[in-house]
Amino acid sequence: MSQSTTRLSKPPHQLLEGLFAFSPNRDTLGGTAYLIVEETGNILVDCPLWDEQTQGFLEQQGGVRSLFITHRGALSSSLKLLQTSLKCEIIIQEQEAYLLPELTVTSFAQEIALGSNLTGIWTPGHSPGSSCVYWNHHGGILFTGRHLLPDNQGKLTPLRLAKTFHWFRQVHSVAKLCDRFTPETLAYVCPGANTGFLRGKGLINDAYQQLSALDLEQLRQTPIGL
pLDDT digits (tens, 9 = 90+) for 101-152: 999 999 999 999 998 899 999 999 999 999 999 999 999 999 999 999 999 9
- 95 inside domain: yes
- 72 inside domain: yes
**Do 198 and 159 touch, CB atoms closer than 8 A?**
no
**Do 46 and 35 touch, CB atoms closer than 8 A?**
no
- 2 inside domain: no
- 1 inside domain: no
- 4 inside domain: no
First to last CA, the chain: 34
Residue 2 predicted with pLDDT over 90: no
- 7 inside domain: no
- 5 inside domain: no
Enclosing domain of residue 79: 13-220
What pLDDT score does 226 carry?
Answer: 55
Mean of per-residue pLDDT scores for the chain: 93
Question: pLDDT tens digit string along 10-35?
Answer: 889 999 999 999 999 999 999 999 99
Q: Structure pTM?
A: 0.94
Q: What is the CATH number of the domain that holds 99?
A: 3.60.15.10
Provide CB contacts within 8 A for 219, sequence distance 6+: 157, 158, 171, 174
Confidence of residue 1 (pLDDT cuts 50, 70, 90): very low
% of the chain at pLDDT higher than 70:
96
Report the distance separating Cα 118 and Cα 116, nearest Å. 6
Report the distance separating Cα 192 and Cα 22, nearest Å. 10
- 39 inside domain: yes
Total tally of structural domains belonging to the chain: 1
